[in-house]
Amino acid sequence: MLNPNAAGVYAIAPTPFHDDGRIDEASIDRMSDFYREAGCDGITVLGIMGEAPKLEPEEAVAVATRVIRRSRLPVIVGVSAPGFAAMRTLTRAVMDAGAAGVMIAPTSNLRTDDQIVGYYRQAAEAVGDVPWVIQDYPLTLSVVMTPAVIRRIVMDNPACVMLKHEDWPGLEKISALRGFQKDGSLRPLSILCGNGGLFLDFEMERGADGAMTGYCFPDMLVDVVRLSKAGRRDAAHDLFDAHLPLIRYEQQPAIGLSVRKYVMKRRGILASDAQRKPGTALSATAKAEVDYLLARLSRQDERAGRLAA
C-alpha cells in the first residue's frame, strides 16, 4: 500500500491499443515488464496520458488489473471523474485487484481555496480508506493550488500520502512544502514530479522524492533520481541535459502522447502507437524530427559509453 515514504520513479503508463482501437493486452504485458526492468519503483495507470476517459469502466478495471498482476510493482490508478459514484466504483474495483493507491485530479470548475479543499474532502469520502495522491496540474486542469491549500488537504485527510507535482513553474512550491514540514505544520508527504520531467533536475534538488511521469526513457529518470540523491549533481545534469531536447519535444500539449507512443513503438514496447478518438497523430515530418532526436541521443550515448555512467 502506498505511503508517504514512496520515492523513486513511478512511470505514467499509456494505454496500449491495437490499430483498430481494441486494448492490446500483449503490449500491456511488455510495457509492464519494460517499466520494471527499467528500474521503476511503481507504475501509474489511467492518468491523463492514459486516455482514461476513452475507456469503458470495465476496460479501465481490466487495464489496471493486468498491469498490477504483470508488473508486480506498486500501481497507482487514476480515478478522477466528474462524479463521485464512478470514482468510488473504480477505486473499489482496482483496490480489490491489488492497486497500491489512487490518484485524484480536481475538476476544472474549482476556483477558490475553499472549493478545492472541499472537493478533496468529498473525494476522500468517496474513495474511502484508501491511500491517495493529489494531482496538481494547473496547465491542463485550470485549478491553482497554493502550498497552503495543499497543506490543508493533506492535514485534513489522513489517507492522502502523495503529491503529484506538476505546477509550472513549480520549484518554489516544492521548497515551500518542504519548508512547512521543517516548521512542523505539514506531516510527511511523498512528492513525485510530473510535467514530462522537464524540470526533474532541479525538482530533485528542491526536495522532491522522485518522478511520476511517462517520458519514454524511464531508465534515464531512474538514473537522474539516483544520481541526484547520491549528490552527484553534475552527473545528474549531464544525463538529464542529454535527454532534454527529446523531453522538451515530448512535452508539447496535445501531441505529447503521440510522441511518447511513437517512441515506445520504435523501442519495441508497444505494437501500435494508435490512440482512441479523439486523438492526434504525428505527421511524417514530426516522426522524422523524433527520429533525429533519437539518433542524436544514441550518438551521445555511444560517446558517453553508457548514458548514466
User: In whole angstroms, how close is the CB of 3 to a copy of itself at the nearest point?
Assistant: 27
Sign of CA dihedral 270, 274, 278, 282: positive
Q: Which is nearer to a copy of itself, 137 or 240 (CB)?
A: 240
> Distance between CA atoms of 110 and 115, rounded to whole angstroms?
6
Q: Which is nearer to a copy of itself, 203 or 209 (CB)?
A: 203
Q: Which is nearer to a copy of itself, 139 or 309 (CB)?
A: 139
> Distance between CA atoms of 112 and 177, rounded to whole angstroms?
20
> Distance between CA atoms of 309 and 297, rounded to whole angstroms?
15
Whether omega for the bond prior to residue 278 falls within 30 degrees of 0, making it cis, is yes
Q: Which is nearer to a copy of itself, 183 or 254 (CB)?
A: 254
User: In whole angstroms, how close is the CB of 72 to a copy of itself at the nearest point?
Assistant: 29
Q: Which is nearer to a copy of itself, 184 or 253 (CB)?
A: 253
User: In whole angstroms, how close is the CB of 122 to a copy of itself at the nearest point?
Assistant: 5
Q: Which is nearer to a copy of itself, 111 or 182 (CB)?
A: 111
In the chain the first and final C-alpha atoms are separated, in Å, by: 33
Query: Which residue has cell 522532491?
Result: 208
Q: Which is nearer to a copy of itself, 2 or 63 (CB)?
A: 63
Give the binding site for a copy of itself (CB under 8 A): 51, 53-57, 59, 81-86, 89, 107-108, 111-115, 119, 122, 125-126, 144-146, 148-149, 168-169, 171-172, 175, 198-199, 201-202, 205-206, 234, 237, 240-241, 244-245, 248-249, 252-255, 276-278, 283, 285-286, 289, 296
C-alpha pair distances (Å), 44 with each of 59, 135, 184: 16, 12, 30
User: In whole angstroms, how close is the CB of 163 to a copy of itself at the nearest point?
Assistant: 16
